[in-house]
Copies of this chain bind each other. A is one copy, B any other.
Amino acid sequence: MTNLEEMGQKAQSAAFELGQLGTQAKNSALLAMANTLVMNTDKIIAANKDDMTNARNNGMKDAMLDRLEITPSRINDMADGLRQVMDLPDPIGKIERGWQTDAGLDITQERVPLGVIGMIYEARPNVTVDAAGLCFKAGNAVILRGGKEAINSNIILSETLREALKTIGINEDAIQLIDDISHETAQKMMEMTDYIDVLIPRGSGKFIKMVVDKAKVPIIETGAGNCHIYVDKDADLDKALKIIINAKVQRPSVCNAAEKVVLHKDIANQFLPELFDALRANNVEVRGDKLSQIIEPGIIPATPEDWGTEYDDYIMAVKIVGSIDEAIAHINKYNTKHSEAIITENYTSSRQFMKQIDAAVVYTNASTRFTDGQQFGFGAEIGISTQKLHARGPMGANELTTTKYLVQGDGQVRK
């Protein structure tokens, strides 16, 4: 069994060294990682082939196989991702604020790394590279624990990144992978409060719930997205249709895809048949409440469970409401606090919705699919936080930091 204690100690030593590195040194390391990845293309693809073969033998579905597969072009994408992270501003060392106290102490609040970040994730091996790069940029050591399906790929990818660090003289324990994929080791990792400052799970909603339930290390919860689009009585219905189709169909498997449509009753008669046809034309199964079934008999009855379910699939449920207040109450009850949108031309409705919806990101007249680090302009993201503590919404390098107060005095004592 992997010696997690020893990994934790090595990570802390590496984090201490990383915390003292300047921006240029970190950027050189990121560039070296990118170049070494590309140089190791053949080795990486060979290891990935083993994972692909095992996965096929275990009957993995095509969509999942596609996520697992590494190609030369995907290695170039990972390398480009690292180069983009290199180009991001360094969040470390920024003075957030500063002031002098009544006692004559000068206080500054400075941005510093979190320390050691634990990443625990499912299948896609590119998370190994993306997470390592972003954690490194923010001066953190990372302990990675990926899914068993991608273990061979993850080992070669993390070894490649460590090789790059070693070459330019940086402690390679800044990036460590737990290569023991047993559940016991995962459980131990989630309890390592002495060594890991924060744990970030990435994967399905079920996976994240499991981690939240079992971990003792503080967590940033990411990615559960039961996102709604509310079509107001004063909506531009062309915009509404375009946005709903985009939010549902453009990439149904991701957390910022819309799962529910809430319709104001005044526009339901006109809009629902049109929406139903467009969704059906895009192979989306449409479920709905009683009223929606009366308007459009092709709609499948929704069960009470539907309202709280994230489908991540070609399924969408429709709820008809009598007022914007009812829409807001419904959304605040069932949403996962990820991304919610109103479609309206009415100023007051927009303002009310934006103020009263409790979610990381609230939209007027735009697709929920924009909740994304790249789209927000953060350059890269480690995930989308759906909790309120520490970070909310897309998390870039800045969200992988904390602060400390530096206090300068001349011998002051407390009275």
B411→A403 contact, CB < 8 A: no
* Chain A 9-52 interface residues, beta-carbon cutoff 8 Å to B: 16, 19-20
The interface residues of chain B lying within 8 Å CB-to-CB of A403 are 392-393
Residue of B nearest to A366 (CB): B409
- Min distance, Cβ A281 to any Cβ of chain B, angstroms: 16
The interface residues of chain B lying within 8 Å CB-to-CB of A362 are 404-407
- Min distance, Cβ A338 to any Cβ of chain B, angstroms: 11
B413→A369 contact, CB < 8 A: yes
The 9 sampled A-B contact pairs (Cβ below 8 Å) are: A101-B375, A218-B387, A243-B411, A360-B404, A360-B405, A361-B405, A364-B409, A366-B409, A393-B404
* Chain A 221-273 interface residues, beta-carbon cutoff 8 Å to B: 236, 238-239, 242-243, 246-247, 250
The interface residues of chain B lying within 8 Å CB-to-CB of A354 are 406
The interface residues of chain B lying within 8 Å CB-to-CB of A405 are 360-362, 371, 376, 392-393
Number of interface residues of A (CB under 8 A): 68
Please report the C-alpha to C-alpha distance between residue A364 and residue B119 in the assembled complex, in whole angstroms: 35
Among A198, A220, A358, find the residue whose CB has the most chain B CB atoms closer than 10 A: A358
- Min distance, Cβ A191 to any Cβ of chain B, angstroms: 10
The interface residues of chain B lying within 8 Å CB-to-CB of A280 are none
The interface residues of chain B lying within 8 Å CB-to-CB of A216 are 212-213
- Min distance, Cβ A342 to any Cβ of chain B, angstroms: 11
Please report the C-alpha to C-alpha distance between residue A413 and residue B358 in the assembled complex, in whole angstroms: 22
- Min distance, Cβ A98 to any Cβ of chain B, angstroms: 12
Residue of B nearest to A367 (CB): B413
- Min distance, Cβ A42 to any Cβ of chain B, angstroms: 34
B392→A390 contact, CB < 8 A: no
Among B198, B213, B375, B387, contact of A103 (Cβ-Cβ < 8 Å): B375
Q: A interface vs B, CB < 8 Å? A: 16, 19-20, 99, 101-103, 105, 107, 114-115, 193, 197-198, 212-213, 216, 218-220, 236, 238-239, 242-243, 246-247, 250, 332, 350, 354-356, 358-367, 369-371, 375-377, 387-390, 392-393, 402-414
Residue of B nearest to A213 (CB): B216
Residue of B nearest to A116 (CB): B388
Please report the C-alpha to C-alpha distance between residue A219 and residue B215 in the assembled complex, in whole angstroms: 12
B413→A242 contact, CB < 8 A: yes
- Min distance, Cβ A95 to any Cβ of chain B, angstroms: 13
The interface residues of chain B lying within 8 Å CB-to-CB of A250 are 413-414
B370→A101 contact, CB < 8 A: yes
The interface residues of chain B lying within 8 Å CB-to-CB of A367 are 412-414
- Min distance, Cβ A206 to any Cβ of chain B, angstroms: 16
The interface residues of chain B lying within 8 Å CB-to-CB of A247 are 413
Among B238, B361, B402, B406, contact of A407 (Cβ-Cβ < 8 Å): B361
Please report the C-alpha to C-alpha distance between residue A385 and residue B74 in the assembled complex, in whole angstroms: 42
Residue of B nearest to A357 (CB): B404
A411→B101 contact, CB < 8 A: no
Please report the C-alpha to C-alpha distance between residue A250 and residue B393 in the assembled complex, in whole angstroms: 44
Q: A213-B216, A392-B404, A405-B361 are in contact. Are A414 and B332 (CB under 8 A)?
A: no
